[in-house]
Chain A
C-alpha cells in the first residue's frame, strides 16, 4: 500500500492567493482527517470526515478555510485568500473505524 499521499510537498505563495492542498487516503479507510502543525500551537485538528461526510469542522480557523471530500479516494483543503499566519505544515491522515491512524508526509505551506 502506498500510504496516505499528499500533494504538493511544498507550496510557496503570496498573501491573498488561493491555495489548494490535496490528499489521497489509504484505500478502504473510512475516516479522513486534516491537521495543521506549527511550533507555537503543535498539531491541531482542523476537520474530519467519515464516509466522505464532514463530521466535525470546529477546528477550521476561519471562513477562509474549506475542505471537501467528493469521493472516498480524494480530499482537498482550500485556503482563500491565504495569509502569512496560515504558514504551517498541513497533514492529512486516514484510518478505519477504531483502528490505527496513518499520516501522510505533509504539505509545507509558506505564505509570503
Chain B
C-alpha cells in the first residue's frame, strides 16, 4: 500500500494570510489529486496533476507536483473564510482508478 503523509494536520490563520499544505510519499504516483471537503459532505475534486514539476493555478490556489511525482503542495494566497475545510491529497496508482488518500489538513480561516 502506498502511503501519503499530509502536513500540517491542522492550520488556523487569519483572513488575508497565505498558507501551504504539503503531501508527501516515498512512492511514485501516476497522478495526484487535491480535494476539499466541507462538514457533512463528501470530498470535491479541486485539481489533478499528472506531470512531474507541473504547476496548476485555480484562482488563489496554486498546486505543484514534485519533479519525482512523489510529493505535492497546495498554496493558498490571501485566504478567505470560504477556504475553510478539510484538504485531502490522493494518489492514483498506475492501474485502474484506485486512489489512496492522505490523512488530510484541516484549514480554518478566521475573519
Contact = CB atoms under 8 A, between A and B. Distances in A.
B43 A103 contact: yes
B99 interface: yes
Contacts of A105: 40-42
Nearest to A98: B97
Interface residue range, chain A: 20 to 34
A60 B42 CA distance: 20
Interface string A71-89: 0000000000000000000
A112 interface: no
Interface in B25-78: 33, 40-45, 48
Between B88, B97, B98, the greatest number of chain A beta carbons within 10 A of the residue's beta carbon is seen for B97
A42 B101 contact: yes
Contacts, number: 48
Contacts of B98: 45, 48, 56
Given A43-B88, A48-B98, A56-B98, A100 B104 contact: no
B99 to A, nearest CB: 7
Contacts of A56: 96, 98
The 10 closest A-B pairs by CB, nearest first: A103-B42, A43-B101, A42-B103, A31-B97, A91-B42, A100-B45, A103-B43, A105-B41, A104-B42, A106-B42
16 contacts: A4-B42, A42-B88, A42-B101, A42-B103, A43-B101, A45-B99, A45-B100, A45-B101, A55-B96, A91-B42, A95-B97, A98-B97, A103-B41, A103-B42, A106-B40, A106-B42
Interface of B: 33, 40-45, 48, 88, 96-104
Interface of A: 4, 31, 33, 35, 42-45, 48, 50, 55-56, 91, 93, 95, 97-98, 100-101, 103-106
